[in-house]
């Protein structure tokens, strides 16, 4: 295999079906029979990917070694550490008999190496706090997250417009709930005149959805200071891409919160990053471990938003890899957009498992060399079937691959080692502070309090009686002035005469009848 040296990555050419293919790539391993190295071209990482396999087959280690190669190539990485076993990227690995055996089989040099890490958090885990304001989410995305219908989404959009026009900052759910209550009570008339009527049912549905999300500690991801997505794209002085490890060990029981955060993050990256088109390598690659948590019980709106984002974010130079147990965990509409597929072993313990394996095998290119559905069940730990896209965007043949061992530690860091990495962080001093500036909640409560105080003062004011008593000294009332006026006297006389005249006439007629 001829090696060609380029500045940005490892480049090699090899012959496949008589054609020489140039590859700038992450080296995963090699085929045991042909000894051909298997690589993922950096250029096609923004076509997204899938790493699938049963528990214990090596998915996380595959993620780890790909992240290492991307970091070496100067590409920043964001990995979702659900199980807490990716922190080992920050320490050099040590050799052992298993690594030595795999090294001999694939003929690759191996040397332990630590990679630059930044720990992130959206919960109580130690790390840089990732937050965004409710306003940054916007009414459209927030409606999808809260799974609102069209009427409720319209009400939420009106509320956002009202807040923009009245300069009411929406930083967290506390602000949003206070505005919803205000436009139904004290500010109802003001809101009705310019924006329309807020039906109680719609407002109640929005409030219930917010409270349901709050039960999963959504307050942890809403607020200030807002995280700047470009801080995910740092490089070291040596040109290595920083690996951002988002610690999510307490998120497995909070799928709605996890989905909310991921959708917001992808939307923020898509909005802020410039259009890039096709380039030699991506700007950022995200790995979403335990991806089934995102799609489990996700609403139709949420799935549609994910699908649209995955389709469009490619042009921003961003790649997204989903890591899960089976390809069937990923919605078909999204699975169809994943250019790279790495399939570890699946286990056929039940009839349902065998059906799932057959379905999984059909997601890979047809192969003349393998019975895919059978081979999937026979793969050992650290082995995978790999299909990717070449530099021209063409799907490659499916290859049974022996994966190389990660250069970093294949175990977790100690609390002390994590603490040392946190101490070196330049982002923690900026983001891990509590900022609670004046926003909609404070402004509206001050307005309500002021209005209530004014009404109390008006009610407490009682007119005091005049100290001077007597007709001569007392001021005539308005009624008395009217009754004493000449016009009133004339009207009274006329009415009185009329009445007396009628009575006199009736009296005369009565006397005449008696006679």
Identify the pLDDT of residue 333. 86
Average pLDDT, the chain: 80
In sequence order, which ranges of 110-221 are alpha helices (DSSP H)? Answer: 134-145, 150-165, 173-184, 188-194, 200-214
Q: Name the phi and psi angles at 117, rounded to 5.
A: -120, 155
Nearest to 322 by CA among 346, 348, 290: 290
Please give the share of the chain, as a percent, with pLDDT higher than 90. 30
pLDDT top residue among 196 and 32: 196
Q: Is the pLDDT of residue 492 over 60?
A: no
Q: For 363-382, what is the mean pLDDT? A: 83
| DSSP, residue by residue, 313-381 | GGGGTEEEEEEES-GGGS-HHHHTT--EEEE------SHHHHHHHHHHHTTS---SS--HHHHHHH--T
Q: For 175-191, what is the mean pLDDT? A: 90
Q: Is the pLDDT of residue 136 over 60?
A: yes
Q: Which segment of 109-123, 215-229, 289-303, 426-440 scores lowest on mean pLDDT?
A: 289-303
Reading the block at residue 11, the tokens are: 């480049």
DSSP assignment, residue 434? -
Query: β-strands 284-288, 2-5: how paired?
Result: unpaired
Highest-confidence segment of 63-77, 214-228, 368-382: 63-77
Q: For 201-222, what is the mean pLDDT? A: 88
What count of residues does the chain have?
A: 515
Identify the pLDDT of residue 431. 93
Identify the pLDDT of residue 360. 79
Q: For 89-94, what is the mean pLDDT? A: 93
3-state secondary structure of 3: strand
Q: Name the phi and psi angles at 378, rounded to 5.
A: -105, -5
Please give the angle made by the CA atoms of 94, 97 and 103, to the nearest 5 degrees: 80
DSSP assignment, residue 43? G
Euclidean distance between CA atoms 404 and 102, whole angstroms: 7
Confidence of residue 181 (pLDDT cuts 50, 70, 90): very high
Q: Which segment of 53-62, 184-193, 490-499 scores lowest on mean pLDDT?
A: 490-499
Identify the pLDDT of residue 505. 37
3-state percent helix, strand, coil for the chain, nearest multiple of 5:
45, 15, 35
Identify the pLDDT of residue 354. 83
Q: Is the pLDDT of residue 389 over 70?
A: yes
Identify the pLDDT of residue 471. 44
Q: Is the pLDDT of residue 341 over 80?
A: yes
Highest-confidence segment of 66-70, 291-295, 324-328, 471-475: 66-70
Identify the pLDDT of residue 208. 94
Confidence of residue 105 (pLDDT cuts 50, 70, 90): confident
Reading the block at residue 451, the tokens are: 């209005």
Give the pTM.
0.78
- Distances from the Cα of 167 to the Cα of 163, 170, 438, 439, angstroms: 6, 9, 11, 9
- Distances from the Cα of 315 to the Cα of 96, 253, 277, 311, 495, angstroms: 42, 33, 5, 9, 92
Q: For 279-290, what is the mean pLDDT? A: 89
Euclidean distance between CA atoms 152 and 132, whole angstroms: 23
Identify the pLDDT of residue 292. 84
Quick: pLDDT tens for 499-511: 444 434 344 444 4
Reading the block at residue 237, the tokens are: 């002085």
In sequence order, which ranges of 424-462 are alpha helices (DSSP H)? Answer: 428-431, 440-460
Quick: pLDDT tens for 441-488: 899 888 888 766 665 655 565 545 544 444 444 555 555 555 555 545
Task: Report whether 249 contacts 81 (CB < 8 A).
Answer: yes
pLDDT top residue among 31 and 123: 123
**Could you give all domains of the chain from N- to C-terminal order, each with its CATH number?**
2-108+239-260+279-307+318-408 (3.40.50.300), 134-220+437-452 (no CATH)
Nearest to 66 by CA among 40, 92, 101: 40
Identify the pLDDT of residue 26. 64
Task: Provide the 10 A C-beta neighbour count for residue 234.
Answer: 15
Reading the block at residue 48, the tokens are: 């997204």
Euclidean distance between CA atoms 455 and 140, whole angstroms: 39
């Amino acid at each position: 295999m001829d090696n060609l040296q380029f500045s940005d990555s490892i480049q090699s050419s090899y012959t496949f079906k008589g054609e020489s293919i140039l590859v700038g790539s992450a080296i995963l391993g090699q085929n045991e029979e042909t000894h051909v190295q298997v690589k993922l071209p950096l250029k096609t990482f923004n076509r997204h990917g899938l790493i699938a396999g049963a528990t214990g087959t090596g998915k996380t280690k595959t993620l780890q070694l790909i992240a290492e190669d991307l970091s070496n190539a100067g590409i920043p990485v964001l990995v979702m550490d659900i199980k807490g076993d990716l922190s080992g990227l920050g320490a050099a690995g040590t050799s052992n008999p298993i690594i030595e055996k795999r090294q001999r089989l694939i003929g690759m040099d191996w040397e332990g190496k630590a990679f630059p890490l930044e720990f992130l958090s959206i919960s109580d885990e130690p790390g840089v706090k990732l937050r965004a304001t409710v306003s940054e989410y916007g009414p459209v995305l927030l409606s999808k997250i809260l799974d609102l219908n069209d009427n409720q989404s319209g009400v939420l959009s009106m509320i956002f417009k009202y807040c923009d026009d009245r300069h009411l900052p929406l930083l967290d759910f506390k602000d949003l709930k206070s505005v919803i209550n205000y436009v139904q009570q004290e500010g109802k008339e003001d809101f009705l005149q310019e924006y329309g009527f807020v039906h109680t049912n719609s407002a109640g549905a929005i409030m219930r959805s917010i409270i349901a999300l709050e039960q999963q500690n959504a307050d942890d991801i809403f607020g200030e200071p807002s995280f700047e997505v470009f801080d995910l794209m740092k490089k070291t002085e040596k040109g290595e891409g920083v690996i951002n490890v988002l610690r999510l060990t307490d998120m497995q029981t909070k799928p709605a919160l996890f989905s909310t955060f991921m959708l917001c993050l992808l939307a923020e990256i898509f909005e802020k990053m410039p259009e890039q088109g096709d380039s030699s390598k991506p700007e950022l690659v995200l790995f979403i471990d335990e991806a089934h948590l995102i799609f489990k019980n996700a609403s139709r709106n949420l799935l549609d938003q994910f699908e649209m984002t995955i389709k469009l974010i490619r042009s921003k130079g961003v790649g997204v890899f989903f890591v899960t147990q089976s390809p069937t965990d990923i919605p078909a509409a999204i699975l169809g957009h994943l250019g790279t597929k790495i399939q570890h072993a699946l286990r056929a313990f039940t009839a349902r498992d065998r059906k799932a394996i057959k379905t999984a095998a059909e997601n890979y290119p047809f192969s003349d060399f393998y019975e895919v559905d059978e081979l999937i069940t026979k793969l050992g730990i650290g082995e995978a079937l790999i299909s990717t896209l070449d530099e021209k965007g063409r799907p490659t043949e499916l290859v049974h691959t022996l994966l190389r061992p990660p250069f970093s530690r294949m175990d977790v860091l100690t609390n002390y080692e994590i603490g040392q990495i946190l101490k070196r962080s330049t982002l923690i001093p900026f983001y891990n502070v509590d900022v609670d500036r004046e926003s909609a909640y404070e402004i509206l409560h001050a307005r309500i309090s002021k209005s209530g105080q004014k009404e109390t003062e008006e009610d407490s004011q009682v007119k005091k009686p005049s100290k001077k008593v007597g007709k001569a000294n007392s001021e005539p009332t308005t009624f008395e002035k009217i009754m004493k006026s000449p016009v009133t006297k004339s009207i009274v006389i006329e009415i009185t005469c009329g009445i007396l005249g009628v009575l006199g006439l009736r009296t005369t007629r009565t006397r005449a009848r008696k006679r």
